[in-house]
Structure 1
């Protein structure tokens, strides 16, 4: 066989993996390949299983068992909403407020938002109490895994219905990463979200503000004087959201993300609604 007839060198295994992921539409294929290889721990069968599931559309974070958020890895898994990096804006906005004594995280999902705020406050020398709640059992399991080691209490159930009544009128900081995608827009979301994350964590009703209306209506009864409610919305929902909080005796402040890569249609905007002190 002449040198011209010799077969071309086979691509390295990681190059083949990157090519498969890129062909499946993974934008950060190289990074994902490295993470999946790490997760497989030198087990070729396990790696093939993870790659096949990723190519089929499962969220990377569900396969890894964790999501990186606000500089820390938080436990997640199948059936659990994956917190978006843009929601780190809510953490930053919370940490810019006066240090609270009591924090409540509604629609907490895996607990990453409340946990990140708690750790940020502790790093600044504060010692707040954190309570969190979510209606989705799978999310609650991961929230307990993430938050209970930090001394937080996690409650399973619908919004404030399961929060200890003793917190009424004592919550200084109320976080709520509620679903705000309009029902009709769910079908336009990426498959890894609409097919693998719970609908209850995505669907905000006809205009996307259905769950938030319930939270805003109840918030004045739970907030301490001068306490604040923080939630995320899309930029086109800001007028409706600010009108909503004003109608319930709260003073709105809109915080936006200046990141040019942020998706302005679905996030990067946080409303800080502070209970007016008369």
Structure 2
């Protein structure tokens, strides 16, 4: 590659063809991601600079990246990051890569927090990921904003000054409710960090993981996203072991994407998952519910009355998981489907 001029366009085309022959079903997209990592450009910028030549260092790093991908290594490990809802998180070998299914899990937690903890009146002003299921909320959000503006106008018409209205607003913000979330098995920290980012100033998370590498990566991601120190506490330990006794019963949500692949299914996973991602974060025992059962047993101790227990699980385990929740005395048990319409998440509430 180094003996001739390699432009961005030529490198994209060659990489796409090469990776397609190696079995990459999304070879064009993969080529774009690798080139963005090598050049520091966005995907849009790549297409605006098709004729720009790659320098020797870029060619060398692109060569290494293509070789790694051709051997099956996940793109996220090669580029060192991935997008998740509204944020980018650092990724590295040894820590599970975030999946789109987990974005749905975050959405379920946010819906609960907005309706049951944080109050629905102010949701229109909060950040919301541009995800398929959010489009239908736009009209409602516009209506909420219009009502808020109308209320402010009515207050002024009734004799209150703009300063009075502004002062009242500051008081309401100061007294705004706050949510406390426990994430078990944080990995990259994508769940906790998304909750904090999308409900800025309204959510505090405690995130645990038995893998010290995952704990360190979550902390790095928190710093990269400029998360306030008092908004995120990351702790190393097995499931809820790092939670102090005085914290029991203080959480509004216990959320987890635990190891959930049944033992016999592990061998059927794609090579790039089995050969590169950590088995500790994948295998969930004979039926995929080994860790889930432990979390379910801990949930009543961790959660306040009416608190939410939400877990992502293997698609064929959801019915049994829901029955286990009911058998444990949980209320409002539901199974949630992912973007491919497969059962993926179980949610339940602790009794009031």
Is the TM-score greater than 0.5? yes
Residue of structure 2 aligned with 1:254, choices 321, 327, 335: 335
Q: Is the Cα contact below 8 Å between 2:261 and 2:288 reproduced in 1?
A: yes
Matched residue SS, 2:240? helix
* Residue 118 in structure 1 maps to residue 186 in structure 2: no
Q: Give 1:172 deviation, angstroms.
A: 0.3
1:46-195 aligned at under 5 Å gives the runs 46-97=61-112, 98=116, 99=118, 101-122=179-200, 127-148=202-223, 149-150=226-227, 151=229, 152-195=232-275
Runs of 4 or more consecutive aligned structure 1 residues displaced over 3 Å after TM superposition: none
Q: Distance in 1 between matches of 2:100 and 2:18?
A: 25
Q: Is the Cα contact below 8 Å between 1:147 and 1:153 reproduced in 2?
A: no
Q: Distance in 1 between matches of 2:38 and 2:99?
A: 24
The aligned counterpart of 1:212 is: 292
Count of residue pairs brought into register by the alignment: 258
Q: Distance in 1 between matches of 2:195 and 2:73?
A: 28
The aligned counterpart of 1:8 is: none
Runs of at least 5 residues in structure 2 that lack an aligned partner in the other structure:
1-8, 40-53, 119-177
Deviations 1:208-250 (A, max 9, x none): 0000000001110110111011101233212210111122221
TM-score w.r.t. length of structure 2: 0.70
Matched residue SS, 1:12? helix
Residue of structure 1 aligned with 2:29, choices 9, 28, 31: 31
Q: Is the Cα contact below 8 Å between 1:114 and 1:175 reproduced in 2?
A: no
Q: Is the Cα contact below 8 Å between 1:220 and 1:248 reproduced in 2?
A: no
Q: Distance in 1 between matches of 2:282 and 2:220?
A: 22
Q: Is the Cα contact below 8 Å between 1:147 and 1:154 reproduced in 2?
A: no
Q: Give 1:263 deviation, angstroms.
A: 7.2
TM-score w.r.t. length of structure 1: 0.88
Q: Distance in 2 between matches of 1:24 and 1:240?
A: 39
Q: Give 1:184 deviation, angstroms.
A: 1.3
Q: Distance in 2 between matches of 1:13 and 1:66?
A: 21
Determine which structure has the larger helix proportion and give its number: 2
* The structure with more radius of gyration: 2
Q: Give 1:137 deviation, angstroms.
A: 2.0
How large is the RMSD of aligned CA atoms in angstroms? 1.6
Q: Distance in 2 between matches of 1:164 and 1:63?
A: 38
Runs of at least 5 residues in structure 1 that lack an aligned partner in the other structure:
1-10
Matched residue SS, 2:241? helix
Q: Give 1:135 deviation, angstroms.
A: 1.0
Matched residue SS, 1:188? coil
Q: Distance in 1 between matches of 2:319 and 2:233?
A: 34
The aligned counterpart of 1:4 is: none
Q: Distance in 2 between matches of 1:110 and 1:14?
A: 29
Matched residue SS, 1:220? helix
Q: Distance in 2 between matches of 1:51 and 1:163?
A: 43
Q: Distance in 2 between matches of 1:12 and 1:75?
A: 29
* Residue 241 in structure 1 maps to residue 321 in structure 2: yes
Deviations 1:161-207 (A, max 9, x none): 11233320011011111111001111110111111111110000000
Q: Is the Cα contact below 8 Å between 1:61 and 1:67 reproduced in 2?
A: yes
